[in-house]
Every structure is written in structure tokens, then in C-alpha cells.
Amino acid sequence: MSFKNLYQRFLVWKTNNVSQSHLLLYLSFLIGIFTALAALILKSLIHFIQHLLTANIIIDNKSYLYLIYPSIGILIAGLFVKYVVKDDISHGITKVLYAISQRKSFIKLHNIWSSIVASSITIGFGGSVGAEAPIVLTGSAIGSNLGRFFKVEQRYLMLLIGCGAAGAISGIFKAPIAGLVFVIEVLMIDLTLFTVLPLIVSSVTAATFSYITAGVKPMFEFSHGNQFEMERLPYVILLGIFCGLVSLYFTRGMYWAEKQFKKLTFWKKFILGASILSILIYLMPPLYGEGYDTINALIDGSHNYGALLAGSEFYQFKEHSWSIVIFLSAVLLMKVFATSATNGGGGTGGTFAPSLFVGCVSGFVFAFVINILGKTYELPFLPQDNFALMGMAGVLAGVMHAPLTGTFLIAELTGGYELFLPLLVVCGGSFATIRIFEPHSLYSMRLAQKGELVTHEKDRAILTLMNNQEDILETNFQTVTPDMSLGDVVKIISTSSRNTFPVVDSQNHFMGVVLLDNIRNIIFRPELYNRFKVSRFMSAPPATVITNMSMDKVMALFDQTKAWNLPVVDENEFYKGFVSKSSILNIYREVLVENFSED
């Protein structure tokens, strides 16, 4: 018996014997296993490549290979994507949001492996990016394709994508709570009694797999020596505001740099990206790679901060406190460009790890400066490792617009649960600050500007999913021309089931409408049939819909005008048809049932 026949028989058996809710739980368990395995493969590949390239290099000798390796990595990764994958696999989390918003939760099969290969090369060779966004895309692709293989109903594919993302975050960070919260805050999957159990199963399964394969120790070695004291609370609040401003800089800087690279050809992107990355790494060695070594140095309690200057021109001034501040501030500002150069030059990686890096440096610099000034102005001492930890949470929360994800992730990454209160304060302050200036996260702003983003507001989410105007365009309105007589219009009215008649010229340009209510008092007076022309009694519509206008904007026009029907024209003012509020409401109900209803 062929595989196809076995597959068909299995589907029939599944339909008859397995309920939808049980199937989702089984699949969420498999997704947790597969995503954790993918995370393990990705981390192992990165470490293998790093060890292969740097095993015989002494870092303190400032080997120039560290300037060459990242450029080689982004070139190989760029060529791999261009000639092997032949598809854009950058912006992993944005891709997932787009799949949820516009592609009915369909993510291509190659995303299961292509992101792993490209990002492992990029990061293994020292690219200044992180592995978390690629593994989220990988996990989501596993969820999407596994659901389609088992012929899961369309409305549940979004949930399985969320399970894949939760498993990916949980597996790579060993952070099950953060994986669950990430899906709710960043991917904006509604949390209900029906959705929560599959998400928990995937997240816990992935974390357990990671505990078994990589041990139960937290990812970062945090010093637990300094307990939080309430007298430091004002400085924690200030740190939250500071992290929000840093997050704004990071978000706007990344977005601006990304647009500049998009204007260039492949080889120009590579040359520019490789040049910027090499120069920045030469001047500031901590920009090499993910930056996790720098994070560990700032939060492990060793206080050997001068070592961070090794290989730079500042190393000779390592005993001077302000040299450390100036150097790390420059690193903080330049990390945006190092990350942009890596991705823009052809590499594949995420901004998850860079935001952790920037946040850690931000929190450390904040506390370090206060402590320097405190010697003169009698300010309370701020433990730099604690504030570096809180800075990680704050910038992550600001960049992702996800304060709970920032709080839980950093607590689970470091085991710093005793700092839960200040972590919440910093994340809340950072999120509140950046929301004043930027309504969308770095991941969602690309889609939001195109009107393609599904948000937490279910009404807007459904309208976003209703992105095809052809489904609601009504073309059975009979047209009239401006030079037609009233008598001609009466003949048309007698055969029409509509009370609105669009007016078009000889080239089908839209000019206005004739409303039956407006001419009801003259249509029964035959003596006026040849005296009145359409141009005399036609009127302008309350608003006009442009083709490809997003559905939430269309509904906004209906709300503003109180109209029931609105004409649709293209960019050249050619008449296309009408949209009616009743048709939109009917499609709305269908999409609501298909994508958001529960069993």
C-alpha cells in the first residue's frame, strides 16, 4: 500500500476517533518536542562553528580574524538565502505576525530548516545578532506545517503557530512562563480556557526537553548577593524611563538602518554591511557575536569591568571609571548599527539578543554613573549587577512592547526571582515611556504601517483578516451617465432592485450618484422626463472607498458618514462597484467563526 493511501486512511481514522481538542493537545506536545530539538540543533551548530573558528585564537591578542569572520559569515548566509532558499527569511517574528495576519497561518515548509542554517552561520561566524527570532520562525513553521499535515481546521492553525513560538522561546531560554507570555503579548494570541492548555503543554514540554539535554542551570550566571531595598525604588523608576528612551532609540535606529539597506543591491549591501561591522568590532570588541559574554561579565558579580575594554583603544584607561562609562555608552549606541549591518549585509538573525545586550549595558551604565556621582553627592549605592539585570528586562519590554515577557524572561534566564518587583516596575516604566512615542513594537511596526497587523483588539483583528475587497464588492448597481434624461433614469429604475445608481462618464470615471429618495418627487411627472438631465439631480457620495484600502479604514468611513453603501474606485477614479455595511457584517461573522470561535 502506498504512503498516500496510508495517509488517507489515517486521516479518516483520525476524523472518526480523535476529537479536535484531543488532537490539539497531542500536536502541542509534539510541537514542544520538535521546537526544543530545533533550538538544541541551532545552539549546537552555533557553538560548533564558534569553537571551530576560535579554538586556537587568544582573545587578548586582538586577532584580526575577529574582523574577518563576521563578514565571511554574512556573505555565506546571504548567498545561501539568495541561491538555495530563494526566499526572504529575515525578520522572523514579523514573518510570523504576517502569517497570522494575512496568510491564514500558512508558513512555508522550508522555514523549519532554512532559518536554522542561515542564522547558525551568521552567529557562529560572529554576526552581531541573536538566534531567538529565527528559532521563533522555525517553531512557528513547525506548528503551521504539522497542523496542515494533520488537516487541522483553519481556525486552529493560529493556535498551533502560537504553540510553536511558545515552545521555541521556552526551549532556547529554558523559560516556560516567558514562552507562554511571549505568545500572548507579542504574537497577540487571545488567551482563553480553550487556548491556554495547548500553549502550556508546548511550553512546558520544550522547557523539560531543554532541562534534560542542557541541565537546569539558568542561562546567565547572576550574582544574588544584593537584595532589593525600597530606598532604591525612585532610581528603579528612573531606570524604567531611561530604558524606554533607549528602547525608542533602538527601535527607530533599527528601522531607519533597515530602510537604508533595502535600497541597495545584494553586493552593495554586503560591502556596506561588512565594512560597518568590521570597523565597529575593531573599535569595540564586545560587539562581536551575540554579546552574551558581555552580559555575563556585567551580572555575575565579579566586578572585572576593565576586562570588557580588552582589545580596544580604551584598555589603557581601564582603571578610570569614566573610561568604562564612555566606552560602554559607545557600545550601547553602536550595537544598533552592528546588528543592522549584520542583517542588512546578508546575515540572518534577530534583535532579541541585541535588545538584551543593549538593556544590560544600559542598566549597568545607569547604576555606574549614579555610584560615581554618589561619592560626591551622597547618593545611595546601586548594585550594578542588579541594575544591569533590570535594564535587560526594561529594554526588552520596550522594544517588544511586552512588559510581562520582559519580566518573566529575565527572571527565568537568571533565576533572579527576588527582583520580581523592581523588574515589573522597570518593565512597566519602559513600556509606558516608549508607548508615548511609538505605538507599535519593532516587530509589528512594519505590518502596522501597511495596515496588515492583527492586534489584541478582536474587532480590528477580524477586519484585518478581511483583507480582500473582492469578497464584498457588489457590482450589480446599474450605472447612468450625466447626459441621460430623467425619463431614461425612470426606465432603469423600473428594472432595478437598487435605490442607488452610480454616475459614470463615457470612460467609466466615477462622477457621483443618483439616489432614488432624492428624485422620488419628480419621477411620477412625465412632463419633466425630457427637461431634467442626470447632471442636474446627481449628488456626491458621502465618501469614496479606494481599492486595496484596509478594512478597518473602510469601516471607519462607514462610521463617519453613517452611510449604508459606499462607491469603490481605483487609483485613477475608475468606477469598480459598491461595498455595503451588510456585506461586511456578514463576512465579519464568517471570519469570527472561522478564526476565533471555540468548540
**Chain segment 5-44, per-residue pLDDT in tens:** 887 887 777 777 888 888 899 999 999 999 999 999 999 9
Question: Residue 39's pLDDT is what?
Answer: 93
Q: What is d(CA 599, CA 477) in angstroms, rounded to the nearest whole number?
A: 40
- Place 456 in a pLDDT band, splitting at 50, 70 and 90: very low
Between CA 428 and CA 433, with CA 432 as vertex, the angle to 5 degrees is: 115
Given a contact cutoff of 8 angstroms between Cβ atoms, the answer to whether 571 and 445 are in contact is: no
Element (H, E) at 578: strand 575-580
Mean pLDDT across 59-71: 72
Residue 57 has pLDDT above 70, yes or no: no
Q: What is the CA radius of gyration of the chain?
A: 29
Residue 313 has pLDDT above 70, yes or no: no
Mean pLDDT across 288-292: 86
Cell 535587560 -> residue: 392
DSSP string covering 21-62: HHHHHHHHHHHHHHHHHHHHHHHHHHHHHHHHHHTT--GGG-
Q: What is d(CA 210, CA 208) in angstroms, rounded to the nearest whole number?
A: 5
Backbone angles phi, psi at 514, to 5 degrees: -110, 125
- Is 514 in a helix, a strand, or coil? strand
Mean pLDDT across 322-337: 89
Q: What is the pLDDT of residues 476-492, one digit of tens each?
A: 888 899 989 888 888 88
Given a contact cutoff of 8 angstroms between Cβ atoms, the answer to whether 199 and 418 are in contact is: no
Torsional class of 314: left (φ above 0), alpha (ψ -120 to 50), beta (otherwise): alpha
Mean pLDDT across 507-532: 85
Nearest to 45 by CA among 84, 73, 71: 73
Go through 259-287 and write b for each residue having 16 or more CB atoms within 10 A of its CB, e for each that does not: eebeeeeeeebbebbbebbbebbbbbbbb
- Please tell me what DSSP assigns to residue 533: B
Nearest to 438 by CA among 400, 410, 386: 400
Q: What is the pLDDT of residues 344-380, one digit of tens each?
A: 998 888 888 999 999 999 999 999 999 888 877 778 8
Which range, 148-157, 170-179, 296-305, 521-530, is most confident?
170-179
Percent of the chain with pLDDT over 90: 32
Question: Residue 377's pLDDT is what?
Answer: 79
Q: What is the pTM of this model?
A: 0.77
Residue 140 has pLDDT above 80, yes or no: yes
Mean pLDDT across 160-172: 92
Query: To the nearest whole number, what is the mean pLDDT of the chain?
Result: 84
Question: Residue 448's pLDDT is what?
Answer: 63
Q: What is d(CA 163, CA 509) in angstroms, rounded to the nearest whole number?
A: 50
Partners of residue 504 on adjacent β-strands: 510
Measured in whole angstroms, the distance separating CA 551 from the mean position of its chain's CA atoms is 21
Mean pLDDT across 267-275: 92
Q: What is d(CA 551, CA 542) in angstroms, rounded to the nearest whole number?
A: 17
Backbone angles phi, psi at 77, to 5 degrees: -65, -40
Mean pLDDT across 389-418: 89
- Is 567 in a helix, a strand, or coil? strand
Nearest to 498 by CA among 582, 581, 565, 573: 565
Question: Residue 469's pLDDT is what?
Answer: 54
Q: What is d(CA 542, CA 561) in angstroms, rounded to the nearest whole number?
A: 6
Nearest to 514 by CA among 499, 528, 494: 499
Residue 167 has pLDDT above 90, yes or no: yes
CA terminus-to-terminus distance, the chain: 35
Given a contact cutoff of 8 angstroms between Cβ atoms, the answer to whether 578 and 474 are in contact is: yes
Q: What is d(CA 172, CA 137) in angstroms, rounded to the nearest whole number?
A: 13
Question: Residue 375's pLDDT is what?
Answer: 79
Mean pLDDT across 526-534: 84
Given a contact cutoff of 8 angstroms between Cβ atoms, the answer to whether 95 and 148 are in contact is: no
Question: Residue 407's pLDDT is what?
Answer: 92
Q: What is d(CA 13, CA 54) in angstroms, rounded to the nearest whole number?
A: 53
Given a contact cutoff of 8 angstroms between Cβ atoms, the answer to whether 290 and 357 are in contact is: yes
Question: Residue 141's pLDDT is what?
Answer: 92
- Place 419 in a pLDDT band, splitting at 50, 70 and 90: confident
Give the domains, in start order, of the chain with CATH numbers. 17-214 (1.10.3080.10), 230-456 (1.10.3080.10), 461-596 (3.10.580.10)
Mean pLDDT across 250-271: 90
Q: Give the helix ranges, DSSP H, for 55-131.
A: 65-80, 92-102, 114-124
Mean pLDDT across 100-111: 74
- Is 416 in a helix, a strand, or coil? coil
Partners of residue 474 on adjacent β-strands: 578
536 vs 395, residue with greater confidence:
395
- Place 455 in a pLDDT band, splitting at 50, 70 and 90: very low
Element (H, E) at 497: none
Mean pLDDT across 91-118: 79
Question: Residue 599's pLDDT is what?
Answer: 47
Residue 440 has pLDDT above 70, yes or no: yes
* Residue 374 CB-density burial (10 A; 0-12 exposed, 13-18 middle, 19+ buried): middle
Q: What is the pLDDT of residues 173-230, one digit of tens each?
A: 988 999 999 988 887 666 677 778 999 999 999 999 999 998 888 777 776 666 777 7
The one-letter amino acid at 416:
G
Between CA 86 and CA 94, with CA 91 as vertex, the angle to 5 degrees is: 115
